[in-house]
Amino acid sequence: MSPAIDVARVRRDTPACESVIHFNNAGAALMPDPVAHAVLAHLDLERQRGGYEAEAAAQPALEDFYDAFAALLGCARDEIAYAESATRAWDMAVYALPLAPGDRVLTHDSDYASNHIALLQLARRLGIELDLVPSDAAGQIDVLALERMIGPRTRAITLTHVPTQNGLVNPAEAVGRVARKHGLLYVLDACQSVGQLPVDVRRIGCHVLSGTGRKFLRGPRGTGFLYVERALLQTLEPPFVDMRAATATGDGRYRLRTDARRFEGWESFVAGRLGLRAAVRYLLALGTDAVAARISALAAELRHALAALPGVTVHDRGVERSGIVTFTVGGEPPTETAARLRARGANVSVTASEAAPLDARLRRLATAVRSSVHYYNTEAEVAAFATLVAAR
């Protein structure tokens, strides 16, 4: 384990660690005290002063939101926008892409359902075509097949960096090299990766990246973010705009903002934005490399402990694996396993086919228990969790 993280301290910052084994970080991680305090303090300020007045007082921190994400993702502050969720961030960018009838978009079976549904709607509305790139033997996107499938009408690649349901990490950088080589737009869903892996948009080579606050970033629910590369930004018209995104010029026209905030709405959850900013600053102070190393080691230990149990099958795939560990217990439906664990003080979730229908169909695995570790979890919790899984 990496000695860089003071596990005792981060657990003190996370009071629920005293009462629960929280292995549902891919659903919503536990907020550390600085994040919760940022949200609650602002709500209290709104109660005492009023919403507009509290927002005015918080302007320095609200502006630092963009600096914090720029530092985290390796980009410029004007390439960052706040969003209410990862899905809204994804949709705002994808529906703005300059696609025309007959254009083709390459995607993969690990796509999250909401992302794929948006592409299906664009296919119906615009007449674009979707090409499904096959997986390689490890289950991740086959980069060689991806490049072979590029044709004269191919315009974009969309990919989920860390899928919600199978433990793998897709080779995002390799896909980025292909996209740049062929001049394709590259949209990356980093909902499950930002906060558990170092994510540098320049190194990856994506033009667009979306994510959420509630998962591995340990931010509040109802928060998300969007990155759009500056060179692409000026060519994208958001699917809907308001007075935050644009200015009415008085001559029957409007002028869009020149930064990524053209994808934002005027009204937003101010306390949530402050909490998400605090979460990013908390992560940066710990160091993304140290966080990634600890999560990877804990997840490997959890996979090993579960695989050693009679009747338990671990279903993870990929050459590189994430902090998401999926498994089933023979003869016990995953929903019952999850309920049994929760009743004994261990939080997990169940991944269902609805969340990733393409992957579920190909693997013929409708449901599985999804456990997901974070840096504030411990080796002792991994051992205790395995004991709970076995104690039917």
Domain, as residue range, for 161: 37-285
Q: What share of the chain is helix, strand, coil (3-state, %, to 5)?
A: 45, 20, 35
CA distance 19 to 24: 14
Domain count, the chain: 2
Structural domain contains residue 255? yes
Check the CA dihedral 201-204-208-209 and report its sign. negative
Boundary (domain end) residue, out of 285, 314, 332 = 285
Chain-centroid distance, C-alpha 308 = 30
Q: Please indicate, yes or no, whether residues 183 and 56 belong to a single structural domain of this protein.
A: yes
Q: What angle do CA 258, 58, 73 make, to 5 degrees?
A: 50
Quote the tokens at residue 185.
Answer: 């737009």
Give 35's contacts (C-beta < 8 A, 6+ positions apart). Answer: 218, 219, 220, 275, 276, 278, 279, 282
Q: What was the pLDDT predicted at 361?
A: 57
Helix (H) / strand (E) containing 223: none
Helix (H) / strand (E) containing 344: none
Q: Which is nearest to 189 in space by CA: 215, 154, 150?
A: 215
Q: What was the pLDDT predicted at 360?
A: 52
Query: How many other C-beta atoms are found inside a 10 Å radius of the C-beta of residue 357?
Result: 16
Q: What angle do CA 26, 130, 223 make, to 5 degrees?
A: 30
Q: Which residues pair with 224 in a beta bridge?
A: 83, 212
Structural domain contains residue 273? yes
Tell me the CATH number at 57.
3.40.640.10
Q: Write b or e for each residue in 277-293: b if 16 or more Cβ atoms lie within 10 A of its Cβ, otherwise e.
A: bbbbbbbeebebeebbb
Q: Please indicate, yes or no, whether residues 329 and 197 belong to a single structural domain of this protein.
A: no
Give 363's contacts (C-beta < 8 A, 6+ positions apart). Answer: 166, 315
Q: Please indicate, yes or no, whether residues 186 and 176 belong to a single structural domain of this protein.
A: yes
Q: Please indicate, yes or no, whether residues 278 and 349 belong to a single structural domain of this protein.
A: no
Q: Please indicate, yes or no, whether residues 182 and 249 belong to a single structural domain of this protein.
A: yes
Query: How many other C-beta atoms are found inside a 10 Å radius of the C-beta of residue 114?
Result: 16
Q: Please indicate, yes or no, whether residues 332 and 291 belong to a single structural domain of this protein.
A: yes
Structural domain contains residue 314? yes
Q: Please indicate, yes or no, whether residues 318 and 180 belong to a single structural domain of this protein.
A: no
Q: Is residue 109 within 8 Å of 358, Cβ to Cβ?
A: yes
Give 63's contacts (C-beta < 8 A, 6+ positions apart). Answer: none
Q: Please indicate, yes or no, whether residues 102 and 240 belong to a single structural domain of this protein.
A: yes
Q: Which is nearest to 66 in space by CA: 226, 180, 174?
A: 226
- State the pTM of this model: 0.95
For residue 1, what is the DSSP state?
-
Q: What single letter denotes the amino acid at residue 324? A: I
Q: What length is written for the chain? A: 392
Q: Please indicate, yes or no, whether residues 95 and 194 belong to a single structural domain of this protein.
A: yes
Beta-strand runs (E) in the chain: 21-22, 80-83, 104-108, 129-133, 154-160, 185-189, 208-212, 224-228, 246-248, 254-256, 312-314, 324-329, 346-347, 349-352, 367-372
Structural domain contains residue 70? yes
pLDDT digits (tens, 9 = 90+) for 238-269: 999 999 999 999 899 999 999 999 999 999 99
Q: Is residue 23 within 8 Å of 347, Cβ to Cβ?
A: yes
Low-confidence ranges of the chain (pLDDT < 50): 1-2
Q: Please indicate, yes or no, whether residues 218 and 136 belong to a single structural domain of this protein.
A: yes
Boundary (domain end) residue, out of 225, 254, 285 = 285
Q: What single letter denotes the amino acid at residue 367? A: T
Angle formed by the axes of helices 288-307 and 270-286, to 10°?
Answer: 80
Structural domain contains residue 133? yes
Structural domain contains residue 2? no
pLDDT digits (tens, 9 = 90+) for 78-135: 999 999 999 999 999 999 999 999 999 999 988 988 999 999 999 999 999 999 999 9
Q: Please indicate, yes or no, whether residues 239 and 292 belong to a single structural domain of this protein.
A: no
Q: Please indicate, yes or no, whether residues 280 and 299 belong to a single structural domain of this protein.
A: no
Tell me the CATH number at 302.
3.90.1150.10
Boundary (domain end) residue, out of 255, 285, 315 = 285
Q: Is residue 299 within 8 Å of 325, Cβ to Cβ?
A: yes
Structural domain contains residue 1? no
Antiparallel, parallel or unpaired: β 367-372 and 349-352: antiparallel
Quote the tokens at residue 44.
Answer: 């209290």
Structural domain contains residue 227? yes
Angle formed by the axes of helices 59-73 and 270-286, to 10°?
Answer: 40
